[in-house]
Amino acid sequence: MKLLRYGEEGSEKPGLLDAEGMIRDLSAHVADLGGKGLEPASLAALSKLDIKTLPVVSGNPRLGACVADVGKFICIGLNYSDHAAETGAQVPSEPIIFMKANSAIVGPDDDVLIPRGSEKTDWEVELGVVIGKTAKYVTEADALDYVAGYCVSHDVSERAFQTERKGQWTKGKSCDTFGPIGPWLVTKDEVADPQNLKMWLKVNGQTMQDGSTKTMVFGVANLVSYLSQFMSLHPGDVISTGTPPGVGMGMKPPRYLKAGDVVELGIEGLGSQKQTFKADA
């Protein structure tokens, strides 16, 4: 299933995308796509619905973040060997973990705000992993059993805030609107191999990132298992798993986003996003 949330910000309703590309309303069957709504029993019940009987949503509504009420937004740094090389960093021996504030989360096509004082706002297309049941001390062999599905995640970053200011990376990753997720949460049954997905990103029509999850240092199963050794993962938590090469910071000279730039990004089978970058008031 391709699950989604549609409607005005703060008033989104649950829905799904049918085979003809139409949005069908799920409000009568699930309160929202987060927490218990993503647990195996809930997804199993949704999968048994006769899609043709679900109400068609008319028009072209705004799409919200594909997961509601995200508890933890966990990110993995330098998780692609070719991205580590372009930034001059060593490939880590263990996953680099940082948190992105869930207040950064927005819809896949919402405007992204360049924060006050920013001169180094950057792009990063990433595979998002959505947890479907509580995971604690899980093995790598069993880890994918705890995944509800996958989505496109844009880990927008302010590099000066991230690396040149004192402290950790979080403040360069958590600015308002720096976490578009969606358009869909694609359930794991539709993703044969999360380690074999093409991913891309364009700035003003120019391809900047053209990679694949094949070059991840730590794969999805490894990450879910690893994280569960340190914290319980709960339904609706999102893991953003790192980016392939082609970010602005890695260019010579570096290139960063400015007001008016349009960024498009997507992952094979998971849909695409499009954002206009604007200066924050």
The average pLDDT across 222-227 equals: 98
Query: Which three-class secondary structure string do you get for the chain?
Result: CEEEEECCCCCCEEEEECCCCCEEECCCCCCCCCHHHHCHHHHHHHHCCCHHHCCECCCCCCECCCCCCCCCEEEEECCEHHHHHHHCCCCCCCCEEEECCHHHEECCCCCEEECCCCCCEECCEEEEEEECCCECCCCCCCHHHHEEEEEEEECCEEHHHHHHCCCCCHHHHCCCCCEEECCCEEEHHHCCCCCCCEEEEEECCEEEEEEEHHHECCCHHHHHHHHHCCCCECCCCEEECCCCCCCHHHCCCCCCCCCCCEEEEEECCCEEEEEEEEECC
| Between 85 and 272, residue with greater pLDDT | 272
What is the tens place of the pLDDT at every residue in 148-160? 999 999 999 999 9
Q: Give the mean pLDDT of the chain.
A: 95
What is the tens place of the pLDDT at every residue in 100-112? 999 999 999 999 9
Q: What is the pLDDT of residue 149?
A: 98
Joined tokens for residue 206:
């120019």
Q: What percent of the chain has pLDDT over 70?
A: 100
Q: What percent of the chain has pLDDT over 90?
A: 90
pLDDT band at 264 (very low <50, low <70, confident <90, very high): very high
CA distance 209 to 102: 25
Q: What is the pLDDT of residue 92?
A: 87
Q: What is the pLDDT of residue 166?
A: 78
Q: What is the pLDDT of residue 82?
A: 75
Could you tell me the residue ranges of all domains in the chain?
2-53, 73-279
CA distance 275 to 269: 19
The residues with which 77 forms a beta bridge, in sequence order, are: 96
Q: What is the pLDDT of residue 168?
A: 78
* Torsion-angle region of 90 (φ positive above 0: left; ψ -120 to 50: alpha; else: beta): beta
CATH number for the region 73-279 comes to: 3.90.850.10
Residue with tokens 């309160």: 31
CA distance 203 to 270: 19
CA distance 184 to 119: 31
pLDDT band at 186 (very low <50, low <70, confident <90, very high): very high
CA distance 250 to 61: 36
What is the tens place of the pLDDT at every residue in 229-260? 999 999 999 999 999 999 999 999 999 999 99
Q: What is the pLDDT of residue 68?
A: 98
Check whether 11 has a pLDDT greater than 80.
yes
Is the separation of the CB atoms in 50 and 212 below 8 Å?
A: no
pLDDT band at 89 (very low <50, low <70, confident <90, very high): confident
Q: What is the pLDDT of residue 278?
A: 98
| Between 172 and 90, residue with greater pLDDT | 172
- 24 φ/ψ angles, rounded to the nearest 5 degrees: -115, 135
* Torsion-angle region of 167 (φ positive above 0: left; ψ -120 to 50: alpha; else: beta): left
Q: What is the pLDDT of residue 87?
A: 72
Q: Which segment of 92-96, 114-118, 161-165, 257-261 scores lowest on mean pLDDT?
A: 161-165
The average pLDDT across 35-56 equals: 97
